[in-house]
């Protein structure tokens, strides 16, 4: 790594203050090193047997550094989840009506699981390890509940934003909460099917088929309940009583 000489620094970029981008990249490298070390230990010894102190040693960082980046072992394990939901606003907010919303949400979930099952950078191999660790740990299974609730909450936030003033009505808000719960349940059913298939070592093609079937079945049911429902039309203040 090269170091800038003091006389080369300008008033705008003093030599004592490294660029924010550099700090961000260093932080990300440290976070990734901790995560990779943790998963190696989880895979070798099981989630419950591994301590944060041992993770720090394996990552060659101080224990305090681990706590700077992660609140707990569970936080490390589920840390990548936010990556998959980054595009959720793009899927939900532009939908004009219930039919388009269901279609866009369905495709979003399919794309999320496609990211998991890609062969690029051994993503599929890592997903198999993740699934085996998860299904082998009662503690992780219990810890997943808040993760699922957070996903439901994020979907609800976007539905409320999309509905606009209509969401101020208690009956509409209740319907949006119910829809978010149903849609999240479909996602979680597919999640269970995904990890059961991965942990069993089934071929990627078979896992793709399992996920596609689970999502198609779930969204068929959602379409029966919500297809054409005015309550899911974006930003309309029309009476929704007939669809609630």
> How many residues would you count in the chain?
244
Joined tokens for residue 114:
């496609």
* DSSP state for residue 239 in the 8-state scheme: -
Q: Considering Cα of 199, then 215, then 162, then 164, what sign does the dihedral take? A: negative
CA distance 102 to 97: 9
CA distance 94 to 10: 45
**Looking at the whole model, is its pTM more than 0.75?**
yes
**pLDDT tens for the chain, residues 1 to 244:** 333 333 333 333 334 444 458 778 888 899 999 999 999 999 999 999 999 999 999 999 999 999 999 999 999 998 877 777 889 999 999 999 999 999 999 999 999 888 777 766 567 888 889 999 999 999 898 888 898 999 999 999 999 999 999 999 999 999 999 999 999 999 999 999 999 999 999 998 899 999 999 999 999 999 999 999 999 998 764 545 444 4
């Amino acid at each position: 790594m090269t170091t800038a000489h003091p006389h080369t620094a300008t008033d705008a970029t003093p030599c004592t203050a490294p660029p924010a981008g550099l700090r961000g990249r260093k932080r990300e490298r440290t976070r990734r090193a901790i995560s990779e070390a943790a998963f190696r230990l989880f895979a070798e010894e099981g989630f419950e047997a591994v301590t944060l102190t041992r993770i720090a040693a394996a990552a060659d960082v101080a224990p305090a550094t681990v706590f700077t980046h992660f609140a707990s072992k569970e936080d490390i394990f589920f840390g990548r989840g936010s990556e998959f939901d980054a595009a959720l606003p793009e899927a939900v907010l532009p939908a004009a009506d219930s039919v388009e919303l269901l279609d866009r949400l369905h495709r979003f979930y399919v794309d999320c699981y496609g990211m998991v099952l890609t062969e690029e950078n051994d993503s599929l191999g890592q997903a198999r390890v993740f699934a085996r660790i998860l299904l082998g740990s009662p503690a992780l299974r219990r810890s997943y509940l808040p993760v699922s609730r957070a996903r439901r909450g994020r979907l609800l936030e976007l539905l409320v934003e999309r509905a606009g003033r209509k969401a101020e009505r208690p009956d509409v808000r209740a319907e949006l909460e119910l829809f978010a719960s149903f849609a999240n349940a479909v996602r979680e059913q597919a999640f269970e099917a995904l990890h059961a298939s991965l942990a069993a070592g089934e071929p990627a093609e078979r896992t793709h088929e399992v996920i596609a079937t689970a999502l198609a079945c779930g969204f068929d049911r959602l379409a029966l309940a919500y297809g054409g429902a005015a309550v899911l039309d974006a930003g309309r203040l029309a009476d929704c009583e007939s669809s609630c």
